[in-house]
Amino acid sequence: MPHLAPAILFADDAIVVADKPAGLLSQPARGEERQDCLEARVQALYDDALLVHRLDMATSGLILLARGPEMLRRMNAAFAQRTVGKRYVASVHGHVTNDSGEIDLPLAADPDNNPRQIVDAVNGRRALTRYRVVARSGEGADAVSRMELKPVTGRTHQLRVHLMSLGHPILGDVLYAPPESAVLNARMHLHAAWIAFIHPERRVPMTFESVVPF
């Protein structure tokens, strides 16, 4: 589908930086109808491109692919050592009280409701998100906060569950926001807006930004 075509922001012999639209899978999923994804579309242009990290289907924004297994190994190491910086923008329900803060809550898969994740103090893996409120608007049921998010860890649905646990689910989130939120919002308001890393081959710092589409 043309409207799901990712934009290629940068490509060389080592990496590809793409801007994924909301509604496109990062990688193939089970089922013949779920094979269309960002990885496959980028591989149509660069056949050795391999996904380094993922974004949820409903999340838009910057995603990094490595050219070949050696570049993938180097970028995986960079993520493991937390030398890759990422910043997201989200619009959430309600006015967040603090201007900035941290959400440090362990997460685990919900055994009764796949693919949902839950806060689990016993079996969960540590998950840490830093946030800053950029703007607040509206009142009452229409109150919204625009937030900048920095995930320190990279757990499944981390930002979505952490914000819901704070009492401020993301607008349009079909899993963690009230049902009417998805009815009123055409998409989930979460966007990977910024990424910074050291080039795996040339060892120079690189930074990319993407315009927030909501």
pLDDT category at 1 given cuts 50, 70, 90 is low
Supply the pTM of this predicted model. Answer: 0.94
Q: Can you give the pLDDT at residue 44?
A: 96
Is 56 considered catalytic here? Answer: yes
Cβ(156)–Cβ(109) below 8 Å: yes
Closest CA to 160 of 25, 63, 82, 57: 57
Q: Can you give the pLDDT at residue 93?
A: 98
Q: Which of 48, 56, 112, 142 is catalytic?
A: 56
Q: Can you give the pLDDT at residue 107?
A: 98
> In this predicted model, what pLDDT tens digit does every residue of 121-153 receive, in sequence order?
999 999 999 999 999 999 999 999 999 999 999
Tokens of 37: 């994804």
Q: Can you give the pLDDT at residue 167?
A: 97
Indicate the average pLDDT of the chain. 96
Distances (CA, A) of 156 to 68, 126, 186: 25, 12, 22
Average pLDDT over residues 20-44: 91
Other Cβ atoms closer than 10 A to 142 = 10
Q: How far apart are the first and last CA of the chain?
A: 21
pLDDT category at 185 given cuts 50, 70, 90 is very high
> In this predicted model, what pLDDT tens digit does every residue of 90-106 receive, in sequence order?
999 999 999 999 999 99
pLDDT category at 35 given cuts 50, 70, 90 is confident
> In this predicted model, what pLDDT tens digit does every residue of 45-87 receive, in sequence order?
999 999 999 999 999 999 999 999 999 999 999 999 999 999 9
Q: Can you give the pLDDT at residue 34?
A: 77
What single letter denotes the amino acid at residue 65?
A: L
Residue 31 has pLDDT above 90, yes or no: no
Parallel, antiparallel, or unpaired: how do β-strands 205-209 and 60-67 relate?
Answer: unpaired
Q: Which residues are registered as beta bridge partners of 18?
A: 8, 63
Q: Can you give the pLDDT at residue 2?
A: 60
Q: Can you give the pLDDT at residue 4?
A: 86
> In this predicted model, what pLDDT tens digit does every residue of 146-168 receive, in sequence order?
999 999 999 999 999 999 999 99
Tokens of 212: 């927030």
> In this predicted model, what pLDDT tens digit does every residue of 172-184 receive, in sequence order?
999 999 999 999 9
